[in-house]
Chains A and B, each alone.
Chain A
Amino acid sequence: MAYDKFNILKSTAVPLPIENVDTDQIIPARFLKATERKGFGDNLFRDWRYHPDNTPKEHFVLNNPVYSGKILVGGKNFGSGSSREHAAWAIYDYGFRAVVSSFFADIFRNNCLNIGVLPVQVSPEFLQKIFQAIEEDPETTFEISLPDQTITILSTRAQETFDINDYKKENMLNGFDDIDYLLNMEDEIRRFTNELPI
């Protein structure tokens, strides 16, 4: 089942310069009770974003109108903890299409790739440059090119490349998903299953 294609994304970015942002922060467990994938963006970073009485916490970045965009920039070890794909859904549903960090937790990275959100891993130094650029000018625009595997700070032309395997890159460029790929392997999987030792 196809999802959004990803090619070149030009956007401002929302900075979250905190390390070890775990998926319980991205979407707390009490919001995982749905049986359909919708509405998760409303609860993105729920407890950092709202007081217990549901009024917005004005100092949290998502409540600050100065910052907006389709790119979320987080500190090291972003997305650690629970495997809940709801975290990636919440990020997507809120409107982000790419997450930038100097290090991602494994399961979160996979979950993002599986729904068409691009995880962009940069060096710690480049991450600092990004945070600095946004701090100096929240209107700073970034360009993420999937074909070239580059991220560029357009105001300074500072650029870095990022890794993604060829298979996933192709999937994201075309909006393909893994299940379609696997369903096409039906016979091969059946043969493999028949030859299992136990």
Chain B
Amino acid sequence: MSSRKTLFDKVWDSHVVRSIENGPDVLFIDRHLVHEVTSPVAFLGLKKRGIKVLHPERTFATADHNTPTINQHLPVQDPLSANQLKALEENAAEHNIPYWGLGHEKNGIVHVIGPEAGITVPGATIVCGDSHTSTHGAFGAIAFGIGTSEVEMVLSTQCIMQPKPKRMRINIHGQLNRAVTPKDVALFIISRLTTSGATGYFVEYAGDVFRTMSMEGRMTVCNLSIEMGARGGIIAPDEKTFAYIKDREYTPKGTDWEQAMSYWATLKTDKDAIFDKEVTFNGSDIEPMITYGTNPGMGIGISNDIPHAETVQGGVSTYKKSLEYMDFKEGDAMLGKKIDFVFLGSCTNGRIEDFRAFAEIVKGRKKAPHVTAWLVPGSHRVEEAIRQEGILEILTEAGFELREPGCSACLAMNDDKIPAGKYAVSTSNRNFEGRQGPGARTLLASPLVAAAAAVTGKVTDPRELMALETV
């Protein structure tokens, strides 16, 4: 029994407090991340029951979803947003939870700052009232998003009740082509599996492509696991993982580190372990991707034309409704389509590597005059690195400005809304109708594709711009 386990099984099983027959498992949660939008009703629930947070030392709070990305030093203008931020600050204080609010040096998007602070470690169970919690799976953790009732469960008992998901492995072998980033890998997988193709599963990513990928890249891939319906995604920890987390604020130190390392070394799928489903792709089949519709599964290689309704999975009427919203036609080429906005940021692509990639393309060029670009670092630490590495100078020179950290236009809860009818090339994670603002039209893509669009004002293959430099 002890052999032939998947990595996912090892971590899950070691956290099961009780298994209910023909029911869910009671799963112990090591780390709970809390933000302002999905927590207030949960704290209210605790108040009604007259109980306190059971493990404040396992709980971490930040403000990110509903915060402005300019003038963060000034009072928040929107009274509803200000009230929600105040509620989190008060709840954190009342329950002794560390709170990294607006202006705090550790503030940023919850899924960017968790790994930065070393809250995210291999073998841990991590939850947050946010579906992109799957990001933390990049470190060999079981991490997934939960609803507010479950936030209340974790606050009050440090446990959650969930049926154990099935196991899926996605293998991508070989090498990636030039200008193909982790974002393209994820959009490629989702386009093949659809937005419900992994529902009910927890996905392990394996193969050369993920082995050679940076930690930032792995986070991007795991982040998007939810977009194919998966409960979460996980990648076995390795030397890159350990190098990333060593000496971070919350990671174990000294002999605790040694002890943890010997445990973490066991965190890999056994050779003969069985998955409920397994799919394999070749890395060299992936090209820079872009979406053309209103869910993340509606993506194609950037040089391809928009598919005809008859050739896609799912209902024809739903597909046509989607293209109508985008004002695109079946058979249209994506290349050359005029765009109005570019958004670089989010828990998907708001890390330093994403800003490096963006800068690589815009260096020595100028932002297209008609394009509005919002460049939003995932955290203050990312912002600091952008300055230190000289990326800010490149961006400024090319006519771009840097905003302050937050979720921003990814879900447009704050003022960063794409206007109705406008097209935005966005490095975020969802192109749903109205996601980036009522009536906004989103094209999901990598930071390289976003940069190419920002300087040309239209959908452009980044390889064209990169080729000029290498000639």
Contact = CB atoms under 8 A, between A and B. Distances in A.
Interface stretch (B145-153, B274-282, B326-334, B387-395): B145-153
B146 A107 contact: yes
A28 B314 contact: no
Contacts of A88: 147
B127 to A, nearest CB: 10
A171 B242 CA distance: 43
Nearest to B148: A85
B18 interface: yes
B149 A178 contact: yes
A1 B38 contact: no
B85 to A, nearest CB: 10
A30 to B, nearest CB: 6
Interface stretch (A7-15, A136-144, A149-157, A190-198): A190-198
Interface in B257-316: 259-260, 263, 295, 314-315
A114 B17 contact: no
A18 B321 contact: yes
B159 A185 contact: yes
Interface residues of B, number: 77
Contact of B23 (A36, A110, A166, A182): A166
Contact of B195 (A34, A77, A185): A77
A104 B383 CA distance: 39
A47 B434 contact: yes
Contacts of A183: 49, 51, 156-157
B44 interface: yes
A168 interface: yes
Nearest to A192: B17
B200 interface: yes
Of A22, A52, A106, most buried by chain B (CB within 10 Å of CB) is A106
B129 to A, nearest CB: 6
Contacts, number: 201
A33 B84 contact: yes
B45 interface: yes
A67 B55 CA distance: 48
A134 to B, nearest CB: 16
B264 to A, nearest CB: 9
Contacts of A84: 37-38, 147
A188 interface: yes
Interface string A22-37: 1011001110111111
A115 B153 CA distance: 13
A101 to B, nearest CB: 11
Of B21, B150, B263, most buried by chain A (CB within 10 Å of CB) is B150
Given A35-B83, A83-B145, A47 B199 contact: no
A103 interface: yes
Contacts of B195: 20, 77, 80
Interface of B: 14, 17-18, 20-24, 26, 28, 37-38, 40-41, 44-45, 48-49, 51, 55, 65-66, 78, 80-81, 83-84, 87, 123, 129-131, 145-150, 152-153, 156-159, 161-163, 165, 195-196, 199-200, 226, 229, 231, 252, 256, 259-260, 263, 295, 314-315, 317-318, 321, 411-413, 420, 430, 432-435, 438-439
9 contacts: A30-B413, A47-B434, A84-B147, A110-B146, A165-B22, A178-B153, A182-B161, A185-B157, A198-B260
| 9 cross-chain pairs, A with B, having the tightest CB-CB distances, nearest first | A167-B23, A85-B147, A114-B149, A111-B147, A33-B80, A35-B40, A83-B145, A182-B157, A83-B131
Interface of A: 1, 17-20, 22, 24-25, 28-30, 32-37, 47, 52, 75-77, 80-86, 88, 103-107, 110-111, 114-115, 165-168, 177-179, 181-183, 185-186, 188-189, 192-193, 196-198
